[in-house]
Structure 1
Amino acid sequence: MTSTAPTSTTASIPDPAQAQTRILRVLVASQVLSGAGLAAGVTVGALLVQDMLGTTSLAGLPSALFTAGSALTAVTVGRISQARGRRPGLAAGYLTGAVGSVGVITAAVLDNPVLLFIALFVYGAGTATNLQARYAGADLASPGHRARAVSTVLVATTVGGVAGPNLAAPAGTLAEHLGIPHLAGLFVISGAAYVLAALVLVLWLRPDPLLLARTVARTKETHAQANPAGAEAADTGEAGNSVVLGALVMILTQLVMVAIMTMTPVHMHDHGHSTTAAGLVIGIHVGAMYLPSPLTGWLVDRYGRMKIAAASGITLLAAGTLAAAAPGDSVTLLALALALLGLGWNFGLVSGTAIITDTVPLATRAKTQGLVDVSIAIAGATGGITSGIMVAATSYPALALTGGALSLALLPAVAATARRR
């Protein structure tokens, strides 16, 4: 009887390749919905605060608040995922983001800035969860296809992320009919989208990718112990260096991207552009953040993590330079600059995520990934809060140039890690 138990247990394990196909389909569906949810804060958050407080200097505060909220959520989602799997962790994060959306709407109706700031902090949970989902796509992927798996999840955000900002005008009209301030209209869409994303995961993300990956890993360990000649030793020093590099790549790209992105709608508004025009530019930016993901994933798997990480720094420099040089009345050039900004961020996120996933063992993977995303969120919060202050003290072109120059710090970090290898 005891001899048949291992065989029965092994037979009950789903095939990882087949499970990965199903998991990616479910994650794609949830990302389409959550992409629409996260776009609301990016598009009208700064304008809502500027309208409520009557000052530009605090226009970066919404971005700082929901990225700070995403830092707390990244830890929580990471810990829940570590203990119970990806499904409950991601679903809890999206539902929290929906609560934040309802809070923003309530604050707008009551014209209550304090409630608005609290609600934006809670709303950040959706942003963190949307990013954490990329790790779920890589849990069961083979090392040579991890970047492409991450990219498949990321690109799904494009549909909702591009459509969301361009619904600003009709959503505002709908909100006014419901007695809600025009700028808060997108948060109605956001709340509904986050709830639906959570529902998709709860119902269909089965088997849980992280739990299955652990089961498969334990099975392989059992075979390895029976055949120790096939075991390989890990270089912990090199692994530590890679974790630091992966985190640094994503932290810097997030800082630069959030800072420039946050103040672009305000910059356009100050030059007489409509909310629709700002929504179009942000929609193009969000599309560039996610749409190139399949190509980026292929490039990372084909040419290596380090080369694409370096390319992200160069692309962000080009974005900052163009944003600084573009005339304030040119929607076309600002859209191109924001497209490059999104592309540079995409290069950094996909390559950095692949570096982290390659390096961190399954036993601590979700927890470590959550901590890395905390650092990314803190960087985003820093970029958001300082961007408004800097533009108020200097100008939008100065902010864009500073961000572009800062991104070049990636190059020596990548070179140093490559030399150690």
Structure 2
Amino acid sequence: MRRYVEYYRQDLPSYEDLQGSAAALMRLQDTYKLDTSKIAEGTLGGVQSTQLTANDCFELGKLTYNSEDFYHSSLWMEHALEKLATQENKQNESDLRAEMLDYMAFSEYRKGNVKTALIFTEELLTLEPNHERATNNKRYYEKMLKDKEASEYARGEDGKTLDMDPVENDYRRSHEFQSYEALCRGEQIMEIKNTHKLACRYRTRNNPLLLMMPAKEEDVFLDPWIVMYHDVMSDSEINAVKGLATPKLNRATVQNSKTGELEVATYRISKSAWLKQDEDPVVAKINARMQAITGLSMDTAEELQVANYGLGGHYEPHFDFARKEEKDAFKSLGTGNRIATFLFYMSDVAAGGATVFPYIGVKLFPKKGTAAFWYNLYKNGEGIYNTRHAACPVLVGIKWVSNKWIHERGQEFRRPCGLYAEE
């Protein structure tokens, strides 16, 4: 019997899974500016989901507390206290409330809110007058409030909170990150220039594959040039690609800019798999279609990457190409830099999951069967820095995409150098 329990236990969620789920929920809360009470009620992106109890909110508060994310810990502890006061089952309410207040007080202290920490500590002492840690903390908080220098230290230099790593906190306050999150919410962050020049067309390139069924090409942005292709992948092809990729899905990795090694990172949360050209006729067919549409050779491109984003899955702003300082990024491939990106959307997403370009204000929302394409490099090989983009967190549903990173080698006669530097 024990063998069976151990066997099935390996498929059960681990503590690491629980931490990841909590982090994803906080990411959604911040990106989409979701109210804590709405999340607890199960309202996400207009879709009704499971409601959270006072204990559930308390667990989220503890998980974020243990990660030293005291901002979110306070939010969820406060809501846990509110739900505890309204729940019908009053069993162990006093003990649970005391524990919540203990967490709440220290979270507020770490955020620099000493007065608030003292208020929660005093409330805790009314429930448990002999609580040793709370008694000591009360003396400490009172002393800090009397001492001006200590009070300034508690708030942090320049008014910065102490609830996050300074480097991480500064990045999340950056203009780029604020633009990224605003675009994810569907906001218009800047005026899109030359919209009157945007056009749609049928693309054939005199290629036999496209003569009978031209690609439906739509301009999204002109400089850098970003286009969408409509009805470019059939449902049967999508199902086939999903079926091939699913058994191979593993946590997606990123390339370390210094070492060139692949590693997992918190700024990219998804699962991915790679499909070879000769793995299945459908893969070869999709590769041939991309070559026909773009006019670029797929012989030196990377394998077709399939990615699955679950709830909260995302990829923060990044470049697809290697910058000058990343000299060893694609050295092992021997095919040069990534000249272009072709991105298929293989599912609709109920809420969230857009592809956004923070520096030009472009946002592309997933639509099953469509694809996006853009060049990462100018004709002279220099990187196009405005192609920095991100995959927004999935708020409701599951997001499936597949992409092809096309490299420089083999394109010499297909996309020759231009006469001007930024052509």
Q: Same fold (TM over 0.5)?
A: no
What TM-score do you get using the length of structure 1 for normalisation?
Answer: 0.27
What TM-score do you get using the length of structure 2 for normalisation?
Answer: 0.27
Q: Which has the higher strand share?
A: 2
- Structure number, greater radius of gyration: 2
